[in-house]
Amino acid sequence: MIYLFSKNQKNDEYAITIREILFLFFIFTYILFLLFPKETLEQKVLKEEKSNDLVLVYIENMIKFDPGNYKLLLHFADISLKEDNFYAVKGVVEMLLRVPDKKAREEAIIIGEKLFKRQYFLLKEQKQKEELLKEYKDTLYEMAIISKDEKLKEDILSYIWAQKDKKEYFKFLKGLAKTNLKWKIKLADYYVAHSKHKTAFELYKEMFEKKGLSYAQKKIIFSKMIDVLIYGSLFEEGTEIVKKSEDLFLKDREISRKIIKFYLFADRAKDARAFVLKR
């Protein structure tokens, strides 16, 4: 048996065994485990599903002290959605759409889509749907611009189109055109459909002259551009870019026919003949 002796006065002399030390150590460790369990309160809250009302109270209070805790905010929004607390969900979604955390924004878009669809498809009257879109238009706009989900963007535009709000539809389409080439083409097509041929031509031209496009992309854009030049009688404006593009599409039968057609409509028979001879 090993003893530890005090170096103090003889009357204060004592002895503790190794076994007693280990016993005290385990007791102390157990108390620490009870006071500071491995699973934090946040983890317990995130796992809790039985009492949504209680969890909401916990989360609301925790968020006050830690507003940047995106996991809690998303969990709060998810539970609020289950409880049909739409106002609370909308507030969280709008907040998270503006945070720097990319993953949090993506999760917010998913919840935001669920929220809007839940309300939209519950409504039967057209007027109610119009009112809901007015209420959500800013949130939906942010979701459409941020999201990488093309289907979501198309769905949002279809909701707006169904309300026959041309002004709002154009605003969304113009915003989406800044995100990628696909939507920029759709915007130019929109101009064509509304007889704004010159505006459409300028947009097609801007896209066509952009570096890094594949041949297939250039072909689609040029085909649309030359159509609008013919239908809009923009022969003077289009001659220069058509001439520049001859060699690119020299072996393309479809585009070559359109180039010849453009020259003939533009009363430029010599240019048409020269192009045919070049082919």
Q: What are the pLDDT digits (tens) for 245-275?
A: 999 999 999 999 999 999 999 999 999 999 9
Confirm if 176 and 153 have CB atoms less than 8 A apart. yes
Helix runs in 36-51, H state only: 41-47
Per-residue confidence (pLDDT) for residue 56, from 0 to 100: 56
**Neighbouring C-beta atoms of residue 127, cutoff 10 Å:** 9
Residues of the chain with pLDDT below 70 are: 1-68
Per-residue confidence (pLDDT) for residue 55, from 0 to 100: 52
Helix runs in the chain, H state only: 18-35, 41-47, 52-65, 70-82, 86-96, 102-120, 126-146, 150-162, 166-176, 181-193, 197-208, 215-231, 235-244, 253-265, 269-278
Question: Cα–Cα distance between 44 and 39 in angstroms, integer?
Answer: 7
Question: Cα–Cα distance between 201 and 192 in angstroms, integer?
Answer: 9
Q: How far is CA 240 from CA 119, 150, 226, 233, 236, in A?
A: 53, 35, 12, 14, 8
Per-residue confidence (pLDDT) for residue 157, from 0 to 100: 92
Q: For the chain, what's the residue count?
A: 279
* Domain segments of the chain as ranges: 1-38, 189-279
Whole-model pTM?
Answer: 0.72
| Burial class of residue 46 in the structure, from the number of CB atoms within 10 Å of its CB (0-12 exposed, 13-18 middle, 19+ buried) | middle
